[in-house]
Structure 1
Amino acid sequence: MPKVQVNSDTLLEYDNQGNLLTALEQAKFHVHYQCRQGYCGACRCRLVSGDIRYLQEPLAFVRSGEFLPCCSIPIGDIAIELVD
């Protein structure tokens, strides 16, 4: 199972079920969201290392180094930072 390091300290295992937003919520992380489908961009996070794959391409603008966990999954181990 891929490991997800969050904010440089907390490590969780992604169980290959659902998207990264769901995994973060199950691990009790508070992530802002609205649409849960890549339209609004409210859940954006920084990708520090590793790679993600979009289950569906987001319609929201995503800057370089950022991603939307509501419509993505990790490809191997990743490190992310939650954006306030």
Structure 2
Amino acid sequence: MSGLSTTWFGVIRSTIDGNVALSDINLGDPDGNEIVHDTIGKNLICTNMFPAPQIGDADDGIPDPSYPFSTVGRNVIGQCGFVLAP
């Protein structure tokens, strides 16, 4: 996904065998870029996203084991480094 301007964008509870590349996504909602609970087979690449991607309302600061962080098979590049379990 590239070049999106809207209010909200999310990659939530998705299973993707290959790469996920997100770039130039600009949103009006200050916590509108949400990436959580995904299984990505290869790389997750996030660049030039505003606001920066985050877990959003799925977490509210208290991790919920039923709504886990994402797993990525290879590398996390750019702004999405938070998606893996700490």
TM-score scaled by length of structure 1:
0.30
Q: Name which one, 1 or 2, has greater alpha-carbon Rg.
A: 2
Bigger relative CO (Cα 8 Å, ≥ 6 apart): 1
